[in-house]
Structure formats: C-alpha cells, structure tokens
C-alpha cells in the first residue's frame, strides 16, 4: 500500500501558480487553433485576398483623384494610403475572430473547455493569440504587395518594425472586441455581420483614406480621436510616409503614445468583459 502511495506521489504533477497555468493553457489553445488553420488553408488564402484587392483598387482607381498635402501624384497617395490599409487589415481580422468563437460556442466546444481544469481566460487568450499569428502573416504578404506597387519606408528598419508592432497591437486589442461579440451571439453568421457593422464607421471615419481636415467640421474631431486614426498617424510618422496631420488634437500630435494607450485600454476593458461573458455564456 505504501509503495502505491509513493508511486502516486511521484507521478502527481507539481502544482502551478495561476499565472503559469494561464500562460500554459493559453499556448495550448493557441496551438490547437493554429493547427486548425493549417488544415483549412482557404481561411488564410481568403484572408489575404481582400487586403490585396484594397491596395490595388485604392492605388490605381482612386490614386489619381486624391490630394495629399496639395499633391495629386498617385505615388504620393499610395504611400499615404498604405498605413491605412495595414490598419484596416489588422482590424478587419476581428470579424473572423468573433465568428470562430461563435462557431466553437455553437458546436459546444466552449462548454467542453469550461468543464476542464484550465484557466478561465485561456480559451479566449489562446484564440486571440492564434488570430494574431494569422494577422502577422497577412501583414507580411501585404507589405510585399505594397512594395511592388510603389510604397516605400523612409525612416529605416527599426522604426518600420515599431510601426508594424503598433499595428499588430491594435489588431490584438480589436480581437478582444471580436471575442466579446462572438460570445454574445448565437451563430457564426451573426458574429461575422456584427463584427463588420461597427468596423466600417471606425475605419472610414478616420484618417486612413483621406486627411481628416478634408471632412466636414463636425466629423473632424471624431476622426482625430478615433483609436484607429492614432495608429494610422503613428505608422505614417514611423514609415516616413506623407500625410502629417495639421490637427491640434492631442492624439494627432502624439500618435505613437496615443496608439499605445488606446490599444492598452481596449485590451483591458474588452478582455475583462469577454472573460466575464465566457464564464456565464450558454449556447
């Protein structure tokens, strides 16, 4: 009897702290979602097609009719545009994140996860981390396409990498909004629709495609204080692209700091709401 007890003590796993368990469980869930993505390659392929279409359409269809700093040169607009396209790409991934979580809810997978001895926030954290990896791949491909159509970085590689870091941080922050939406609806279709409805005003009422000074007066402060606009403006400065804002709004004068603050606040608020919703959500 003593030998059996000793063997059980040897085989028993060491207790882990809350943070260690949360990190480990999150990475396991992230791995599960990444494996699933590799088995469904069309998810990645279709995610790449849309931003590439936006680059080509806006560059060559609208480029000659847009004015940036008084210049109507299509090349100037292409450089102005790319920060907005990058930001739009990382935020539109939110809809896919919400749909994926809603699909897991619909199939009962979330209920099975909740029955396991794992950290409560690990399922959502793992899912958002996996989406961040997919978004990173999309941004890399998009950057190559942008270089092919004439976009250039003028402030050096370190600042360019910092700009991409801000973009991915914003995308990760918005993915928590998608997670909350995915937990709040009943079907993946509803999650996709709900995930896109609010993204269109956020991305288009901003400085992504036109300078906010060209908007009607009552829209300008909304665009200037838009978290999306702060990241776009920060990337333009770090890339050395045209489009320096003339606005006196604090986010436009300190876009890098504003981008970091906005993304951090969004993560804190919506992760808290999403984890709370996860604990009580039912199909």
- Structural domains in the chain (count): 1
| DSSP at 254 | S
Q: What is the mean pLDDT of residues 143-152?
A: 88
What is the predicted pLDDT for the residue at 202? 93
Q: Band of the pLDDT at 243, cuts 50, 70, 90?
A: confident
Integer Rg of the chain from CA: 21
Residue 8 in any domain: the answer is no
What is the predicted pLDDT for the residue at 267? 95
Q: What is the mean pLDDT of residues 138-165?
A: 91
| DSSP at 249 | S
Q: Band of the pLDDT at 103, cuts 50, 70, 90?
A: confident
What is the predicted pLDDT for the residue at 219? 92
Residue 3 in any domain: the answer is no
Residue 257 in any domain: the answer is yes
Task: State percent of the chain over pLDDT 70.
Answer: 86
pLDDT single digits (tens) 190-232: 887 887 889 989 999 999 888 888 888 899 999 999 999 999 9
Separation between Cα atoms, residue 148 and residue 24, nearest integer Å = 40
Are 92 and 195 spatial neighbours (Cβ–Cβ below 8 Å)?
Answer: no
Residue 211 in any domain: the answer is yes
Transcribe 188-216 into DSSP letters.
Answer: HHHHHHHHHHTHHHHHHSSSSSS-GGGS-
Comparing CA positions, the residue from 95, 102, 82 lying closest to residue 46 is: 95
What is the predicted pLDDT for the residue at 176? 92
Task: State percent of the chain over pLDDT 90.
Answer: 31
* pLDDT over 70 (residue 62): no
Residue 164 vs residue 122, higher pLDDT:
164
CA distances from 206 to 175, 218, 221 (A): 19, 13, 10
* pLDDT over 90 (residue 257): yes
* pLDDT over 50 (residue 1): no
Residue 226 in any domain: the answer is yes
Beta bridge partners of 71: 68
Residue 6 in any domain: the answer is no
pLDDT single digits (tens) 15-55: 444 677 778 888 888 888 778 777 777 777 777 787 788 77
* pLDDT over 50 (residue 233): yes
What is the predicted pLDDT for the residue at 66? 67
Q: What is the pTM of this model?
A: 0.84
Residue with tokens 């969004």: 266
Are 70 and 163 spatial neighbours (Cβ–Cβ below 8 Å)?
Answer: no
CA distances from 204 to 150, 198, 238 (A): 23, 11, 22
Per the structure, the complete domain to which residue 76 belongs is given by 20-64+71-280
What is the predicted pLDDT for the residue at 5? 47
What is the predicted pLDDT for the residue at 261? 97
Residue 33 in any domain: the answer is yes
Average pLDDT, the chain: 82
Beta bridge partners of 68: 71
Residue 59 in any domain: the answer is yes
pLDDT single digits (tens) 119-137: 777 888 888 888 898 889 8
What is the predicted pLDDT for the residue at 18? 65
* pLDDT over 70 (residue 72): no
């Amino acid at each position: 009897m003593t030998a059996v007890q000793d063997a059980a003590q040897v085989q028993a796993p060491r207790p882990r702290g809350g943070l260690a368990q949360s990190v480990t469980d999150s990475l396991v869930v992230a791995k599960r979602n990444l494996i699933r993505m590799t088995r469904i390659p069309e998810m990645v392929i279709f995610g790449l097609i849309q931003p590439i279409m936006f680059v080509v359409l806006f560059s060559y269809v609208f480029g000659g009719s847009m004015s940036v700093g008084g210049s109507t040169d299509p090349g100037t607009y292409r450089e102005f545009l790319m920060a907005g396209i990058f930001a739009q790409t990382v935020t539109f991934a939110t809809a896919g994140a919400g749909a994926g979580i809603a699909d897991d809810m619909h199939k009962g997978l979330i209920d099975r996860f909740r029955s396991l001895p794992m950290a409560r926030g690990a399922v959502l954290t793992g899912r958002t981390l996996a989406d961040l990896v997919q978004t990173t791949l999309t941004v890399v491909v998009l950057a190559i396409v942008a270089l092919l159509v004439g976009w250039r970085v003028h402030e050096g590689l370190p600042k360019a990498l910092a700009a991409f870091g801000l973009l991915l941080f914003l995308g990760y922050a918005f993915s928590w909004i998608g997670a909350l939406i995915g937990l709040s609806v009943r079907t993946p279709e509803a999650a996709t629709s709900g995930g896109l409805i609010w993204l269109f005003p956020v991305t288009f009422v901003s400085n992504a495609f036109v300078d906010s000074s060209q908007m009607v007066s009552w829209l300008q402060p909304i665009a200037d204080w838009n978290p999306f606009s702060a990241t776009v403006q920060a990337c333009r400065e770090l890339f050395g692209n045209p489009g320096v804002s003339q606005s006196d709004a604090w986010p436009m004068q300190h876009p890098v700091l504003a981008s970091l603050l906005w993304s951090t606040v969004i993560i804190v608020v919506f992760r808290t709401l999403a984890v709370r919703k996860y604990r009580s959500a039912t199909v």
